[in-house]
Amino acid sequence: MYIGFPKLLLENRPQRIEELQMNAQKELNCVNRKINIAITRITNPYGRPNILAEFIAGQLKNRVSF
């Protein structure tokens, strides 16, 4: 998993990682398998167009003024 802002996910690290792992197992229908999650930090997240688009979409969704 590539993440641009690891602080958002890793603040309560064990709880959030476990929650992410459980949600991924439910979505992928992994009943008898365990999913290992490896997190890689992106050094310049605003330099990636897809991450920037997700950020702007989130801002518009939350109606943040520019």
- CA-nearest of 30, 33, 35 to 1 is 35
What residue segments make up the domains of the chain, in order of their start? 2-61
Find the range with the poorest average confidence among 7-11, 52-56, 61-65: 7-11
Return d(Cα 58, Cα 26) in angstroms, integer: 25
Would you state the pLDDT for residue 9? 63
**What percentage of the chain carries pLDDT values higher than 90?**
0
Q: Are 24 and 35 in contact (CB under 8 A)?
A: yes
Chain center to CA of 50: 13
DSSP string, 8-28: HHHTTHHHHHHHHHHHHHHHH
Return d(Cα 19, Cα 8) in angstroms, integer: 14
